[in-house]
């Protein structure tokens, strides 16, 4: 497998961001993890690939990654100790802001970090820890592939806004480099909440194999989803929620 040593640099807001661009790889998150283990790279580092043969999603799923999309992994060392919830939340907001700046499109967030446009998922985010660093893997569907998205990908869509993926990767990285230094900024949480329209809606989720039904109360400071059900109030910290049709229409 190709190493990540021979890389270039981006200048972003007075900071230097080393980066590498691969035509093809298995998974940009895996490549970054491997390069960190081999001592080839330090944070910050950006890796882009034109396509992935084994794109990885949350909860052990795969992420379909044909040519034409943006597949990037950003290696960061957050100033605050590793906090999965806040990093994931900041990443979702960073991508939304970058896309809005470049296209004018307003994306909505389905907790925890699926980004939706017109009711279809256009971006997924997979944050993984490696030592004291965090790899933020971001996949954005920029164009609808010929024949559409495979059905197993769920209700998937694309931006189809003619956005340049290198420009988008740079904007996302600029936001995340800033955010890594101020993970507890109230502005990040406020923007996340404004884009997460599920408050008051009924959802279901599975806990230890049992399906549960609850109403969404909001997003906690640490990125958890606060819900209420017959047994009281609970904060969900991981996993996935399923939406009823009323809640789903809020992502339109």
At 172 the three-state DSSP class reads: helix
Candidate residues 78, 85, 139, 223; the one interacting with ligand BTN per rule CB under 6 A? 139
Q: Which helix (H) or strand (E) holds 203?
A: strand 202-207
**Who's near 88: CB < 8 A, 6+ residues apart?**
112, 113, 125, 127, 223
Among positions 63, 111, 116, 192, the unique one binding ligand BTN when judged by CB under 6 A: 63
Residue 61 is a binding residue for ligand BTN (CB under 6 A):
yes
Stretch touching ligand BTN by CB under 6 A, among 27-35, 87-95, 96-104, 152-160: 27-35
Q: Should residue 52 be labelled a site residue for ligand BTN when binding is judged by CB under 6 A?
A: yes
Q: Does 29 sit near ligand BTN (CB under 6 A)?
A: yes
The reply to whether 46 sits near ligand BTN by the rule CB under 6 A is: no
| Among candidate residues 51, 45, 192, 187, the one with its CA nearest the CA of residue 114 | 192
Neighbours of 1 (CB within 10 A): 10
With binding defined as CB under 6 A, does residue 33 bind ligand BTN?
no
The CA distance from 188 to 128, in Å, is 20
Query: Which CB, 52 or 214, lies closer to ligand BTN?
Result: 52
Cα gap 72→114, rounded to integer Å: 16
- Cα–Cα distance between 38 and 167 in angstroms, integer? 29
Contact stretch for ligand BTN (CB under 6 A) within 6-14, 52-60, 96-104, 217-225: 52-60
Computed on alpha carbons and rounded to an integer, the radius of gyration of the chain in Å comes to: 18
In whole angstroms, how close is the CB of 81 to ligand BTN at the nearest point? 23
Residue with smaller CB distance to ligand BTN, 71 or 205: 71
Interaction site with ligand BTN (CB under 6 A): 27-29, 52, 55-58, 61, 63, 71-73, 124-126, 137-139
């Amino acid at each position: 497998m190709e190493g990540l040593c021979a890389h270039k640099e981006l200048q972003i807001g007075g900071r230097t961001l080393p980066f590498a661009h691969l035509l093809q790889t298995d998974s940009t998150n895996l490549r970054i993890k491997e390069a960190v283990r081999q001592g080839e790279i330090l944070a910050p580092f950006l890796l882009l690939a034109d396509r992935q043969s084994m794109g990885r999603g949350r909860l052990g799923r795969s992420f379909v990654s044909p040519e034409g999309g943006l597949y990037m992994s950003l290696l960061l060392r957050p100033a605050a100790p590793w906090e999965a919830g806040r990093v994931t939340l900041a990443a979702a907001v960073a991508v939304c802001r970058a896309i809005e700046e470049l296209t004018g499109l307003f994306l909505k967030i389905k907790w925890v970090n699926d980004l939706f446009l017109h009711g279809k998922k256009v971006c997924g985010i997979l944050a993984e820890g490696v030592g004291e660093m965090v790899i933020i893997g971001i996949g954005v569907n920029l164009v609808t592939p010929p024949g559409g998205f495979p059905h197993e990908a769920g209700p998937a869509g694309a931006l189809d806004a003619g956005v340049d993926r290198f420009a988008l990767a740079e904007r996302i990285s600029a936001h995340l480099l800033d955010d890594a230094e101020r993970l507890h900024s109230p502005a990040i949480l406020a923007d996340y909440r404004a884009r997460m329209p599920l408050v008051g809606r009924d959802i279901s989720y599975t806990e230890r194999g049992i399906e549960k039904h609850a109403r969404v109360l909001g997003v906690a400071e640490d990125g958890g989803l606060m819900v209420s059900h017959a047994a009281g109030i609970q904060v969900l910290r991981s996993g996935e929620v399923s939406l009823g049709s009323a809640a789903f229409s809020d992502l339109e």
